[in-house]
Amino acid sequence: MSPAKKSVKKSVKPLASSFYEVRRSKIQGRGAFAILPIRKGKKIDEYWGKRITHDEADRRYDDSEARHHTFLFVLDDDTVLDARYGGNDARFINHSCDPNCETVIEHGHIWIKAMKAITPETELTYDYRFEWQDDYEPEDVRYYACRCGAKKCRGTILRIPVYLRATIKQWLAGNDVPVQKKPKKGAKKAVKKVVKKVVKKAVR
């Protein structure tokens, strides 16, 4: 009897998506452009990259060196995908504040999905929504300025807390006004209750 052959686990190489191709983009660098009609809800591609820890991601990249986080994608509380290593063309899909795609995490995979019907020659985009850090200063916000050109552009690829929107607008305009304090939990509800009571009294 011949000895059993050992099974060798081969790394799977991501296949190129048939829905788009990478070209120069007006938004930034290179972008992904549809080459076929894409229906709403269609999974266009999977975001690939080497799976690393959050600590490893922080160790590898320093915000003061370059604008690099477009290639990092948070999968969960433990894992980040670094598309600089083993990544596919999905890493070239640019940000927009008014996107035509969204990202969906399913069973440990990140999918790029169409939010609306997309015609050929249209650039594919999704909202990066980088997490807001409480220690961000005006220069940090301007560092992550958005150039998507959308009418609904919020000026930055950061996800801005509602209470800071007015402040961030000033920062992006070059006015380094003091940051607003974060409202205490329940403060908004308390105000609503007071308003309701006043309205009821006025009706009586």
Residues designated as active site = 47, 128
Question: CA 127 → CA 8, 132, 152, 203, distances in Å?
Answer: 39, 14, 12, 44
- Token look-up 């205490």 returns 184
Phi and psi at residue 95, in whole multiples of 5°? -85, 150
CA distance 92 to 99: 14
Residue 144 carries which DSSP code? Answer: T
Question: CA 170 → CA 148, 152, 174, distances in Å?
Answer: 19, 17, 6
CA gyration radius for the chain? 22
